[in-house]
Chains A and B, each alone.
Chain A
Amino acid sequence: MSQSTASSRVSILLALCAIVVASLSAMYSWSSRVVESEVSDVAPQAVRAETTSEAQPDLGSLALNTEQTQTIERDQQRATIRLPVAIPPADIETLEAEAKFMAERLLQDMPEEPIAVHVSAMLNAKLHNTELAIEQWKKCIEMSPRTEQYYVNLASVALDRGQSELAIETLMQAQTMGLYSPDIAHHLGLAHMNAGNNQEALEILEGAAKEEGQSGALWFLVGQVKLRAGDSAGAEEALRRAVDLGVKTRQVYFNLFSACMRNGNREDAAEFRTLYESFKPKKRIEPSMRFEASTTADARSLIAFIAAEAAMLYDRRGSVRDTEHLLLRSLALSPVDLNVLSNLADFLSAQQRFADERIVRERIVSLNSQQLLDYLLLAKAEVACGNPEAAEAAIKLAIALGPTSPTSYIAMAEFLVEQKRAPEAEWYARRVVELDRSPEAYRLLARVHRLQGDEAAAQSAEAEISQMQERE
């Protein structure tokens, strides 16, 4: 492989990473908005659980490094893990005791880690020991005053306790620390609304919504606060915008119904009422849900969360066994949790346990993950395990699932190039160019041509790059 080819490949890979990052980012912010809107509808003050699960995958390791794999003997690639398929039975007391044990151990092992305190606070919030949870998040803020999440969670629990003033005070404290985000605005707006400070809520939410522009959740709240303040025309406009931005919930339709009724727009009101009523009632509520206490399912998800969070902390400290044990425990309680599966796969990848990683990534794919990256990471694991055919199959599936995304075509072209199957790679490189007429795409095509000895075609592709640069 020549130097120029290698450098070209690096640039293509960087481009690939950039595309993946962009698409991931889009996906992430989309899902984030959806969660936000659901949160605002159902339980506006819901505590944010995720700490480390937001971490992006290591995109730098996306290269399908066959050379590395070739150095690993096949007998070293035997899997040492099995993934759970069913949730083991357990009673709520046992599960809660386990959760408490995990949280306490974490605190003992890492008292200096604000995340350890945060995990304990999460546990207490979920078990409705809210006073203690508040104290712990106050401590988190002392330990790590620039972590927004601690302020938001403290405020959320304060709201849950009917303490809107404490919520406001906390979030304003975050702002004085220079922390500002749509989430803070969201919660601060809610806290003001709950305190009856509609004007303050409106100023905060409208400001944030205008700044963010594309946050349906914020526009939804703007609509709500305007409705509360009697501005039904403004409410209707904001709520319609929220719907346009993807907030299509029972609550937004109810508010639109109310706004339209007040605005004398009975035809649209009737339509929104129909939409509101189209949401089916939730399934029969589990008995102990009456108290919002821990059902067994709740307790399982709680431990799964704590174990996953603790695993990340132990991983950071290099405690391999703790990390693996906790991730597997988390998975045992929540076998289809894609976040935990991804964390486990990344951990195994970092440990160069590719056979294990492959098992986990296969599970992720089998759960119909909608993220192309998961298929590409499976392909990478397959390559690392010396299964190029399986890798190729995974990339083909990624292409089939997202036929208009250049990402998978790039991955396939790169893979085939590495497999020294340049003629086959050309078809994929051409599709990349069709889908994304960028310099990076033409560089890939040029490289593929060159690998086949077709210098003229390679130069022709590079000429396109030059023309693009001239046009720019």
Chain B
Amino acid sequence: MRVFVSLVMFVLGALVCAEVTAQSIKFTDVSSQSGIDFEHTTGASGEGYLVEGVSAGLATLDFDGDGLLDIYFCNGAPLRGTVANGPVTNRLFRNEGGLKFKDVTDQAGVGDAGYALGVGVADFDGNGYPDIYVNNFGANVLYRNNGDGTFTDVTETAGVACGQNVGAGVGFFDMEGDGDLDLYVGNYVDFSYETHVPIVLKGKNYTAGPQYYNPVPDTLYRNNGDGTFTDVSQESGLARFAGPSMGLMCVDIDNDNDTDVYVCNDGKPNFLFVNDGDGHFQESAFLFGVACDLTGQANSSMGVDCGDYNNDGQIDIISTNYQAELPNLYRNLGGGFFEDATSSARLPYSLFPHVNWGTSFTDFDNDGDEDVFIACGHFDRIETIDDRTQMKIRNYVLRNDNGKFADIGVTEVGLTAVKSSRASAAEDLDNDGDIDVVVLNSNDSVTLLRNDLDSQNAWICLKLVGPGRNKDAVGAVVSVGQPQPQKRYRVSGRGYQSHFGSILHFGLGEVGVEKVQVSVRWPDGRETEQEVSVNKLTRIEHSPDPGDR
């Protein structure tokens, strides 16, 4: 009997330990102490204009090269019928360390007052400093980083204003392998004040979705290498495809060493533009199995990210979707085919009633596999007509346990903010080796979550410096072999119409070594290997010497 009792105690003990381990992800909401006083506005006048609900993205970038990631928030602007209550602009917050930030918008000169929806960041001119492209409802803006803490609006000279479209995600990538970064601009639908579709339910205005407007093809600009761009949407083959674009990402989906573009469409099948290496694209989402969900239904996709959640060496995709649609997790089966693994990977069904936006594959607990963050929130006072979800709702962190995901909960892990979230970015904002989260909330203040991971798990962070003018090394793939194979992708355009992840992060678990071997496949196809120290940020520069491997 004593043996039996001991055995029971042992099992219970093991369960308790497992529970403790399971709850090792823990955040502290440090928004109020961070100095980030940004308050997003939709600029709503009560008419229910389409753009109100879909604003906005955010970006992380080290604009001043001090080794700390700064944050750029997109903002709405007063829409027709709204009286502005003071200046409303996008805002840049400089990271002063210790998760303290300072508003430097005016000094930096990046306070565009347009109606911002999406944002992209890359060093398009190869001067070593990240530039910012803002995708607006209306003319877009390209800010060139002068390298001295200031930016210059070069939209006109660069020729990238992109008309008066309703903007979406943005990506920079080298489409034809000429060494500089071209610009992919997502466009949503042909909404304008003139085409606005009013919807009145029970005396209240609600927002008409994209299905009431015509989708607009995206725009692709080729970087001419002299500070100007040329619209090549037609010759690249992209202009033939019109979809209500939202989040997008530029990454090598088919593993042929050129960069493809995956675009979320709102209520239409998603696009996968497969690059032939020369900047010509074939739309192949259906063939790859990433256009729809498992039932063949085109979801209203919002945000997107890629990773290798099951560490099988193949790039996987997650896209977030509208209410009454689960996010889609597309597992790469190899051979150019993906399967909808949402159910088999156990993405929690509790996400089903909510609108999901920002997302990222992120190893929050440094245990060597990528967890998932999902930002949620509706754009209408949905709770007045539907009790299944709410305008303001909690966000989700899904812990990855051997390729199966579980909701880590709310209160005990510090995810207490209940707002209507849109964009999110997962970054190590305090350089302590674990990934923090910043969330842009619609018509609300931001949420800044400090990761208070309590574990001895090791990590590495890598800052890649790419070849030629592609200093950001967009398109590079990094592999780590220990303690288990992992890959990270240097992506442009992530989450919900946002940019983050310029620094690649690997959790290593309890690796027990001081250095690990890292392999890099650079955008030009060259492969290099080197050892890097654990628990450190390492800068890896593309070597001009081709004999590395």
Q: Which residue numbers of A lie inside 8 Å of B, CB to CB?
A: 41, 92-93, 128-131, 159-164, 193-196, 198, 224, 227-230, 250-251, 253-255, 258, 261-262, 273, 276, 284-285, 287-288, 290-293
Residue B16, interface by CB 8 Å: no
Residue B199, interface by CB 8 Å: yes
The 9 closest A-B pairs by CB, nearest first: A254-B296, A196-B346, A162-B352, A128-B386, A287-B199, A164-B349, A162-B350, A194-B349, A293-B385
Residue B107, interface by CB 8 Å: no
For the complex, what is the distance from the CA of A128 to the CA of B350, rounded to whole Å? 17
Inside 8 A of B286's CB, which chain A residues have their CB?
Answer: 273
A290 x B206 contact (CB < 8 A): yes
For the complex, what is the distance from the CA of A293 to the CA of B404, rounded to whole Å? 34
Residue B209, interface by CB 8 Å: yes
Q: How far does the Cβ of B129 sit from chain A's closest Cβ, in whole Å? A: 43
A194 x B201 contact (CB < 8 A): no
Q: How far does the Cβ of B195 sit from chain A's closest Cβ, in whole Å? A: 14
Residue of A nearest to B345 (CB): A196
Inside 8 A of A250's CB, which chain B residues have their CB?
Answer: 296
Q: Which residue numbers of B lie inside 8 Å of A, CB to CB?
A: 197, 199, 201-202, 206-209, 211-212, 286-287, 289, 292, 294-297, 324, 333, 337, 339-341, 343-347, 349-354, 380, 382, 385-388, 404
B351 x A291 contact (CB < 8 A): no
Inside 8 A of A251's CB, which chain B residues have their CB?
Answer: 295-297
Inside 8 A of B385's CB, which chain A residues have their CB?
Answer: 128, 291, 293
Assuming A164-B349, A250-B296, A273-B286, is B344 touching A292 (CB within 8 A)? Answer: no
A291 x B380 contact (CB < 8 A): yes
Besides A130-B387, A193-B343, A196-B347, 4 other CB < 8 A contacts? A93-B202, A128-B387, A198-B343, A262-B333
Residue of B nearest to A165 (CB): B349
B344 x A229 contact (CB < 8 A): yes
Inside 8 A of B339's CB, which chain A residues have their CB?
Answer: 227, 230, 258, 262
- Counting chain B CB atoms within 10 Å of each CB, the highest count among A93, A131, A254, A276 belongs to A254
A293 x B201 contact (CB < 8 A): yes
Q: How far does the Cβ of B30 sit from chain A's closest Cβ, in whole Å? A: 30
B201 x A196 contact (CB < 8 A): no
For the complex, what is the distance from the CA of A261 to the CA of B346, rounded to whole Å? 24
Residue of B nearest to A286 (CB): B199
Partner of A195, one of B211, B292, B337, B349: B349
A253 x B296 contact (CB < 8 A): yes
Residue of A nearest to B333 (CB): A262
A290 x B337 contact (CB < 8 A): no
Assuming A224-B295, A285-B211, is B388 touching A130 (CB within 8 A)? Answer: yes
Assuming A128-B387, A258-B339, A262-B333, is B199 touching A288 (CB within 8 A)? Answer: yes
- Counting chain A CB atoms within 10 Å of each CB, the highest count among B296, B387, B404 belongs to B296
For the complex, what is the distance from the CA of A261 to the CA of B338, rounded to whole Å? 10
Residue of A nearest to B331 (CB): A230
For the complex, what is the distance from the CA of A164 to the CA of B351, rounded to whole Å? 11
Assuming A254-B295, A255-B295, is B206 touching A228 (CB within 8 A)? Answer: no
Inside 8 A of A164's CB, which chain B residues have their CB?
Answer: 349
Inside 8 A of B296's CB, which chain A residues have their CB?
Answer: 250-251, 253-255, 276
For the complex, what is the distance from the CA of A56 to the CA of B181, rounded to whole Å? 70
Assuming A253-B296, A258-B339, A273-B286, is B349 touching A290 (CB within 8 A)? Answer: no
A-B pairs with beta carbons under 8 Å apart, 27 shown: A92-B201, A130-B388, A160-B352, A161-B352, A161-B353, A162-B349, A162-B353, A162-B388, A163-B349, A164-B349, A193-B343, A194-B343, A194-B352, A196-B343, A196-B404, A230-B339, A251-B295, A253-B296, A255-B295, A258-B289, A258-B339, A276-B296, A287-B206, A287-B208, A287-B212, A290-B206, A290-B211
A255 x B294 contact (CB < 8 A): yes
The secondary-structure label for the interface of chain A is helix
Inside 8 A of B353's CB, which chain A residues have their CB?
Answer: 160-162
Residue of B nearest to A273 (CB): B286
For the complex, what is the distance from the CA of A245 to the CA of B382, rounded to whole Å? 40
Q: How far does the Cβ of B247 sit from chain A's closest Cβ, in whole Å? A: 20
For the complex, what is the distance from the CA of A47 to the CA of B26, rounded to whole Å? 39
Inside 8 A of B207's CB, which chain A residues have their CB?
Answer: 290
For the complex, what is the distance from the CA of A290 to the CA of B380, rounded to whole Å? 11
B386 x A162 contact (CB < 8 A): no
- Counting chain B CB atoms within 10 Å of each CB, the highest count among A159, A195, A196 belongs to A196
B337 x A288 contact (CB < 8 A): no
Partner of A128, one of B208, B388, B404: B388
Partner of A290, one of B209, B333, B345, B354: B209
B294 x A291 contact (CB < 8 A): no
For the complex, what is the distance from the CA of A255 to the CA of B292, rounded to whole Å? 11
B388 x A160 contact (CB < 8 A): yes
Inside 8 A of A159's CB, which chain B residues have their CB?
Answer: 349, 352
B289 x A261 contact (CB < 8 A): yes
B386 x A262 contact (CB < 8 A): no
Inside 8 A of A195's CB, which chain B residues have their CB?
Answer: 346, 349
Assuming A41-B295, A258-B289, is B197 touching A287 (CB within 8 A)? Answer: yes
A291 x B206 contact (CB < 8 A): yes
- Counting chain B CB atoms within 10 Å of each CB, the highest count among A130, A162, A164 belongs to A162
Q: How far does the Cβ of B107 sit from chain A's closest Cβ, in whole Å? A: 42
Assuming A262-B337, A291-B206, is B344 touching A230 (CB within 8 A)? Answer: yes
Assuming A287-B197, A291-B386, A292-B386, is B352 touching A227 (CB within 8 A)? Answer: no
Partner of A228, one of B343, B350, B404: B343
For the complex, what is the distance from the CA of A251 to the CA of B211, rounded to whole Å? 21
Q: How far does the Cβ of B173 sit from chain A's closest Cβ, in whole Å? A: 28
B294 x A227 contact (CB < 8 A): yes
For the complex, what is the distance from the CA of A130 to the CA of B353, rounded to whole Å? 12
For the complex, what is the distance from the CA of A163 to the CA of B348, rounded to whole Å? 10
A254 x B292 contact (CB < 8 A): yes
Inside 8 A of A131's CB, which chain B residues have their CB?
Answer: 387
Inside 8 A of A273's CB, which chain B residues have their CB?
Answer: 286
Residue of B nearest to A295 (CB): B201
Q: How far does the Cβ of A255 sit from chain B's closest Cβ, in whole Å? A: 7
Q: How far does the Cβ of B355 sit from chain A's closest Cβ, in whole Å? A: 11
Assuming A194-B349, A227-B294, A228-B294, is B386 touching A293 (CB within 8 A)? Answer: yes
Inside 8 A of A276's CB, which chain B residues have their CB?
Answer: 296
Inside 8 A of A194's CB, which chain B residues have their CB?
Answer: 343, 349, 352
Inside 8 A of B289's CB, which chain A residues have their CB?
Answer: 258, 261
Q: How far does the Cβ of A122 sit from chain B's closest Cβ, in whole Å? A: 15
Inside 8 A of B354's CB, which chain A residues have their CB?
Answer: 162
For the complex, what is the distance from the CA of A93 to the CA of B542, rounded to whole Å? 66
Inside 8 A of B386's CB, which chain A residues have their CB?
Answer: 128, 291-293
- Counting chain B CB atoms within 10 Å of each CB, the highest count among A129, A276, A288 belongs to A288
Q: How far does the Cβ of A43 sit from chain B's closest Cβ, in whole Å? A: 9
